[in-house]
Structure formats: C-alpha cells, structure tokens
Amino acid sequence: MTNNKRIVIIEPYSMIAQGLRLMIDEIKGYEVSAIIADGHYIERVAPLRPDIVIINPSIIDIKRRGELDELAQRLPGSTFAALVYQYVDPDVLRYFKTTIEISDSREKITLKLRQLLESSEQVTESTELSDREKEILIAVAKGLTNKNIADQYHISIHTVITHRKNLTRKTGIKSVSGLTVYAILNNLIDIKEVE
C-alpha cells in the first residue's frame, strides 16, 4: 500500500480520461485508482474510498442531481473536483471544490489537487483558540521565552513551538508584537501587563 492520494476519474470519453490519467501519474504523490466511464458510478466509486473524485458533471442527468448528494454522503472522506470542457450549469458546479479545465497544464493540475486536499483539511478545523493556546498566547505577549513557557506549564519546548505555530496559523499573525496586539484587542491581557 503506498501513501499516494487515490483519485477516481468519472469521465465518459476515454481519450480525455486516459490523457488526464497520464498527466496525474506523472505527479508525485497521486495515483489514479480507477476510471469510470458510465452510469452506476456511485456503486462503483464508494468501495474505492478515493481521496479525490474528478467528475465530468455532464455525466450527471439533469433530473438526477440528487446523485451528487448521495455520492458525497457515501464518501465523507473524499473531495470532489469537476472536469469541465463544456457548458455546465452553475448550480451543478456548486457541488465541487474546484474545477479542472481541459486547458490546464500539469503544474496547474498539481496545484489544484494540492489545494483540494489542503482546504478539505482546513474546513474541518476551527480557528477558535483553545484554552491552552490562550494561555500560551498570554505568556508570549508577556515576553516569556519558549523555555520559560515550557517550565511554567510543565510541557516540552517542542509542544510550546507547536502551540505557537497553531497560534500563528489560526490568527494569521507571526510577530510577537502582533500577537500582543491580538491578545489586548481580545481582552485576554491588560496593556499594563506587557509594558
């Protein structure tokens, strides 16, 4: 078993499906585990548990849009991309995280695949700070070093660094002074404590 991200392509035309497979095979970290060219794809995709499903939306009958909901329910761990080269109803496109176009270069496809998986990891994650992160933030704002913080909370320096990385990711703020501003704006600390 490799760690490659598994992709299923649902596309009626073999020329396009095979071409896309060739491009994806050249991208490190991804593999195409199946190409499905016709209906009844739901039953066939579900057991494959792919990380990414690339679907040409024109394969979906206009009266059976509910199929996409069904597919999403049966594959909670997968993200969906639309493969687009003809007009597609915008209502249908709303079901997809991104669109792959027939004119996309391999670099562009690589980027889109990567972003697909990143964004699926991010949406499940809250940007709210945990209580422990708030404590670390206050300590950082007070000017404590990582070593001081580790001692005070009986945790390893490595854990402090992980908390600090999470603080930066959640708040979008990198500098210590910026984090101090954040702490004061959110009334986690009084300005007198940092002077």
Partner 1 sequence: MTQKITSLYTAQMKMAELIESDYNLLLLFPRFNMELGVGDTTVMEQCTRQGVSPTLFVMMCNIYSHTDYKPTIKEVTQLDAEQLLSYLSRSHIYYINSRIRPIKEELKKISGHCTSSHSAVLQRFFAEYEQEVINHFAYEENTVFPYIRTLMACHKRQQGYDIENFQENHSNIDDKLSDLKNILVKHLRGIGMASETTELLFQIFSLEEDLSRHTFIEDVVLIPLVQHLEKNIYDKQ
Angle in degrees, 0-180, between the axes of helices 146-153 and 131-141, rounded to the nearest 10: 140
Locus of tokens 């206009």: 62
What is the closest distance, in whole angstroms, from the C-beta atom of residue 71 to partner 1 in the complex?
Answer: 34
Q: Which is nearer to partner 1, 24 or 141 (CB)?
A: 141
What is the closest distance, in whole angstroms, from the C-beta atom of residue 194 to partner 1 in the complex?
Answer: 8
Q: Which amino acid belongs to residue 166?
A: N
Q: Which is nearer to partner 1, 53 or 189 (CB)?
A: 189
Q: Which is nearer to partner 1, 106 or 174 (CB)?
A: 174
Nearest to 54 by CA among 66, 37, 29: 37
Q: Which is nearer to partner 1, 62 or 191 (CB)?
A: 191
Q: Which is nearer to partner 1, 82 or 141 (CB)?
A: 141
What is the closest distance, in whole angstroms, from the C-beta atom of residue 184 to partner 1 in the complex?
Answer: 5
What is the closest distance, in whole angstroms, from the C-beta atom of residue 77 to partner 1 in the complex?
Answer: 29
- CB under 8 Å to 178, separation ≥6 — which residues? none
Angle in degrees, 0-180, between the axes of helices 157-171 and 176-185, rounded to the nearest 10: 70
What is the closest distance, in whole angstroms, from the C-beta atom of residue 185 to partner 1 in the complex?
Answer: 6
Report the interface residues with partner 1, using CB under 8 A.
171-175, 177-178, 180-182, 184-186, 190-191
**What does 120-171 look like in DSSP terms, one character per residue?**
HHHHTS--SPPHHHHHHHHHHHTT--HHHHHHHHT--HHHHHHHHHHHHHHH
